[in-house]
Amino acid sequence: MSASMDIIFSSYQQHLLTILCFFFLLYLHRRRTPPGALTNWPIVGMLPGLAVNVHRLHDFVTEILGHSNRTFLLLGPWFSGMKLLITCDPTNINHIFNVNFHNYPKGHEFSENFDILGDGIFNADHESWRSQRKKTQLLITQPRFLSFVTLCSRDKVGNFLLPLLRQLSEQNKIVDLQDVFLKFSFDVSCNLVFGIDPASLSPDFTIVPFAMAVDEATTTILHRHVVPPSWWKLMRRLKLGREKKLADALCVIDDFIAEMIQKRKQESNRADSSNDNLLTAYINDDSTADDRFLRDTTLSLVTAGRETIGVALAWFFYLLCKNPDKEAKLVEELRHGAEEPVYLQAALCEALRLYPPVPFEAKGVAEAENLPSGQRVEPGTQVLVSIYTMARMEEVWGKDCLKFRPERWITEQGSVRHEPAYKFMPFNCGPRTCLGKGIAFAELREVAMAVVREFRMEIVEGHVVEPKLSIILQMRNGLKGRAMRREP
C-alpha cells in the first residue's frame, strides 16, 4: 500500500513540475518575445506562445506571417506530431490548390478534426470526393432547385426579416444583428436542404437546439487545430472539456437529421410528393442511399449554408456602419434601381475579402516537395492557408489592404473586377471551388438590397467587435446595434 502511494505521489510531483514549467515558459514568452514571433522551446515547442495568443488567433497568425515572408512552420511539443505549415502566399496557394492539387488532399488529419461531418463531401478525397461533387453539382444546378432557392430567400426576406427589422426599429430595440442574420440563414438553409423552416427568425428569437449544437461543434473543431492531436483525442476518449460538449452536441445533431431523413423518405414514396429540397432530391436520385450518407451529406450542406451566409452578412453591415461614405454610395445606387448593382457586388466582395466566413483552409501532404516560396513539405505536415491574413498583406492587396474600399473591385469600364481565386478565396479555389458560390452571392444580394434600401444599422457605442475563436469567422461578442428606418 505504501509503495503504491509513493508511486502516485511521485507521478503527481512530475505532473505538477511539468505544469509549473509550462506556465514559467508562458511567462518568459510574454516577457521576451516581440509581436509576431514564436520561440521554439525545448520539449514543449512553440505551444506556450500559441497558448498565450490563442484568444486572438487570427490576428496573431497575421502578425507571424507578416514577419515571416507569408509562410511559417509552427512546431508543437516533441513527439506530439503537431507540425503546421501556415501560409498566405498566393504563389503557394496556387500551387497547392491548382498546380499540384493531387498532392494536397484533405488527408487523414483533416477528416479526424472534422469527424462530425463523417464521409461527406467536405471530408472526402479522391474518387469519393469526385463522385459526391458530381452528384451535388447536378442537383443544385437544376432549374427547379434554383427557382426554389429564389423563392425561399425572397419569402424569408419579405415575410420575416424585413417585418422583424421594422418592429425592432419601432421599438428602438438593441439586438445582436449577427444573431438575426444567422437565424435568417439557418432558416433558409434548413428549408433548402431539409424542406423545413424551423422559424428561428421570429420576434421572440426562438432557440433551436440543432443550431446551438452546430455552433458548439464548430468551436470545438477549431480548438482541435491549436492543440496537439494526442491531447484532444485523449479528451475525446475520456469525454472531457470541449470534447464532452461536442459529444452532447452530436447527439442533438444526429437526432434532428435522422428525423428529417425518415420524414422525407416517407414523403418520397407518395405519388403527390413535390418537395424541392436537396434531401428529397438525393433520396429520389438514389433510393438505395443509406442513412449515414444522407446524414453526412446534408449536415455538410446545411452547415456550409447556414454559417457562411449569416456571418458574411454580419460583417458586411458592420463595415457599412464603420464606413458611412461607402454606405451612401451603395444607397444611391440601389435607390436609382440599377439593373446590375455593380457597387453592391463590389462591396460584398470587399467584405468577403476582409472577413472571409471560413478564415482557414487545411490540406494534407501526400509526397514531399518544395513549395514555390522555398519551404519543404512532407507527409505528416498539415498545411494551413490563412485566408483572413492574405487580405491583410500589403504585398498582395496594396498599402490600403486594411481599408474597406469597394472601389478596388470596379474596373475603369465600370464592371466588377475579376481577381484570381488563389488571391480572393472565400469560396476556396481550384477543383474544390465551392459549388454554391453563385447561390451564396444571390442570397447575399437579395438580403443586402432589401435591407440597405430601407434600413441603416447603428452599432452600440463602445461595443467591441472582433473575430471569435471558431472555424467560422463569427464575431466574438456579436454585433449589438439598432435597425434605423431610412427617410423615404
Question: What are 446-460's pLDDT values in tens digits?
Answer: 999 999 999 999 999
Give the pLDDT band of residue 322 (cuts 50, 70, 90).
very high
What is residue 3's predicted lDDT score, i.e. its pLDDT? 41
CB 276 within 8 A of CB 144: yes
Identify the CATH number of the domain in which residue 305 sits.
Answer: 1.10.630.10
Q: Is residue 1 part of a domain?
A: no
Q: Is residue 15 part of a domain?
A: no
CB 366 within 8 A of CB 104: yes
Could you give the percent of the chain with pLDDT greater than 90?
65
In the annotated binding site, the residues are 434
First to last CA, the chain: 84
CA distance 321 to 311: 16
| Beta-bridge mates of residue 352 | none
What is residue 174's predicted lDDT score, i.e. its pLDDT? 95
pLDDT at 24 over 60: no
What is residue 273's predicted lDDT score, i.e. its pLDDT? 53
Rounded to the nearest integer, the mean pLDDT of the chain is: 88
What is residue 352's predicted lDDT score, i.e. its pLDDT? 98
pLDDT at 391 over 70: yes
Number of compact structural domains in the chain: 1
Identify the weakest region by mean pLDDT among 22-26, 56-60, 131-135, 181-185. Answer: 22-26
The one-character DSSP state at 401 is T
What is residue 5's predicted lDDT score, i.e. its pLDDT? 39
Q: Which residue has the higher pLDDT, 19 or 167?
A: 167
pLDDT at 8 over 50: no
What is residue 303's predicted lDDT score, i.e. its pLDDT? 85
474 lies in which domain range?
32-485
What is residue 29's predicted lDDT score, i.e. its pLDDT? 47
CB 485 within 8 A of CB 451: no
What is residue 286's predicted lDDT score, i.e. its pLDDT? 81
What is residue 289's predicted lDDT score, i.e. its pLDDT? 80
Give the pLDDT band of residue 269 (cuts 50, 70, 90).
low
CA distance 363 to 130: 17
Q: Is residue 437 part of a domain?
A: yes
What is residue 223's predicted lDDT score, i.e. its pLDDT? 81
- Helix residue ranges, H only, 323-379: 324-335, 342-354
Give rounded-to-5 percent helix, strand, coil for the chain.
60, 10, 30
What is residue 152's predicted lDDT score, i.e. its pLDDT? 93
What is residue 36's predicted lDDT score, i.e. its pLDDT? 55
DSSP of 267-304: HHTSTT----SHHHHHHHH-TT--HHHHHHHHHHHHHH
What is residue 35's predicted lDDT score, i.e. its pLDDT? 55
Q: Is residue 25 part of a domain?
A: no
The b/e string for 234-258 (b: 16+ C-beta within 10 A; e otherwise) is: ebbeeeeebbebbeebbebbeebbe
Identify the weakest region by mean pLDDT among 166-180, 195-209, 338-352, 362-376. Answer: 195-209
Identify the weakest region by mean pLDDT among 1-5, 61-65, 430-434. Answer: 1-5
pLDDT at 375 over 60: yes
In the annotated binding site for heme, the residues are 434
Q: What's the average model confidence in pLDDT over 10-33?
A: 48
What is residue 270's predicted lDDT score, i.e. its pLDDT? 62
Identify the weakest region by mean pLDDT among 43-52, 291-300, 355-364. Answer: 43-52
pLDDT at 117 over 60: yes
pLDDT at 151 over 70: yes
Q: What's the average model confidence in pLDDT over 185-190?
A: 94
Most confident listed range (69-78, 92-101, 192-201, 469-478): 92-101
pLDDT digits (tens, 9 = 90+) for 276-313: 899 999 998 887 788 999 999 999 999 888 789 999 99
Could you give the percent of the chain with pLDDT greater than 70?
91
Q: Is residue 42 part of a domain?
A: yes
Residues in contact with 343: Cβ distance below 8 Å, sequence separation at least 6, in sequence order: 329, 330, 333, 406, 410
| Beta-bridge mates of residue 175 | 481
| Beta-bridge mates of residue 370 | 376
pLDDT at 9 over 50: no
CA distance 190 to 204: 19
Cα Rg of the chain, angstroms: 24
What is residue 468's predicted lDDT score, i.e. its pLDDT? 87
CA distance 365 to 368: 7
Q: Is residue 264 part of a domain?
A: yes
- What's CA 446's distance to the chain center, in Å? 21
Give the pLDDT band of residue 134 (cuts 50, 70, 90).
very high
Q: Is residue 407 part of a domain?
A: yes
| Beta-bridge mates of residue 482 | 458
Give the pLDDT band of residue 321 (cuts 50, 70, 90).
very high
The one-character DSSP state at 145 is H
Q: Is residue 66 part of a domain?
A: yes
pLDDT at 333 over 90: yes
Give the pLDDT band of residue 274 (cuts 50, 70, 90).
low
